[in-house]
Amino acid sequence: MKNIDIKLLKKYIDGFLENRPAFFSLIRPQEAYLFTKLDEYIKGKILDFGAGDGYFADLIWDKKKIDVGLDISSSRIEEAKSVDVYKTLKVYDGDTIPFKTNTFDSVISNCVLEHIPGIQNSVNEICRVTKPKGYFLTGVMTNNWERFQFGPQFFGNYYKKKMRKQQEHFNLFTVGKWDSVFEKAGFKIVKRIGYISPLNAKWLDIYHYLSLPSLITYKLTKNWVLWKKWYSIIPLDKLALKLTKESLEENNVKNSSAVFYVVQKK
């Protein structure tokens, strides 16, 4: 991508450093940036598939109401009640989306699909509830994630398998395989944008371990971060800005760990 809006990207980086574990600052700001820049495809009646605790959507769409936030009961969807971005929150069984065919003009989903066993059924369901000519926007991880991680350089396939299980990655597909999943469901591909460059992926892997204090803080206080400006001591925001900006500028679909899709129902 050209002409990256540095101010906007930094806003999202600061938002995640101040409210979530540090590793989020190397991935979520890129996705937030892409959703913002592709907002023209998000209109009408909107479904957020895999809403989680709602923080991601609230950070981006603080002035736009999303009609439905959907997730399974074991997610953090109950926490999404504390944000003001969804008109309705819905818990479902993870199999059949509880809405009629052709209900939504747009569906959004961020870093959810790679975590779902039996992914084709879920994408079929998303297509079913999307109106004809409606859009589905989503970021997904690819097989390059394990290829570019830092850990496998020292621990090989053992590390890959361990992290795959820990991160619950069921679908680390090639770009061609992801294309096929969307097309089989009844979508046509409008845009593909690569993000999380090889260097970005290595640092993201390292940042998972630097974020362990946040996990302890959350378990003790239900807050990921106790001091909002903690990163001012170590300029992690500057490193995150450099890595995410360069990653978005590269936009190398075949050589990125993740791909952002805009697809349209036929």
DSSP state of 169: -
Predicted confidence (pLDDT) at residue 58 exceeds the cutoff of 80 = yes
> Both tokens of residue 164?
């795959």
Q: Taking the CB of residue 222, how many other CB atoms lie within 10 A of it?
A: 8
Cα gap 199→63, rounded to integer Å = 34
Asked, for residue 222, whether it belongs to a domain, the answer is yes
Please state the domain count of the chain: 1
Domain contains 254? yes
| Confidence at residue 212, expressed as pLDDT on a 0 to 100 scale | 86
CATH assignment at residue 179: 3.40.50.150
- Does pLDDT of 250 surpass 90? yes
pLDDT score at 210: 83
Q: What is the pLDDT of residue 132?
A: 98
pTM here?
Answer: 0.94
Is 1 a domain residue? no
pLDDT in tens, 10-26: 999 999 999 999 999 99
Residue 85: inside a domain: yes
| pLDDT per position as a tens digit, 92-148 | 999 999 999 999 999 999 999 999 999 999 999 999 999 999 999 999 999 999 999
For 171, the domain range is: 6-265
Percent of the chain surpassing pLDDT 90: 83
The answer to whether position 116 is within a domain reads yes
Report CA 180 to chain centroid distance, whole Å: 20
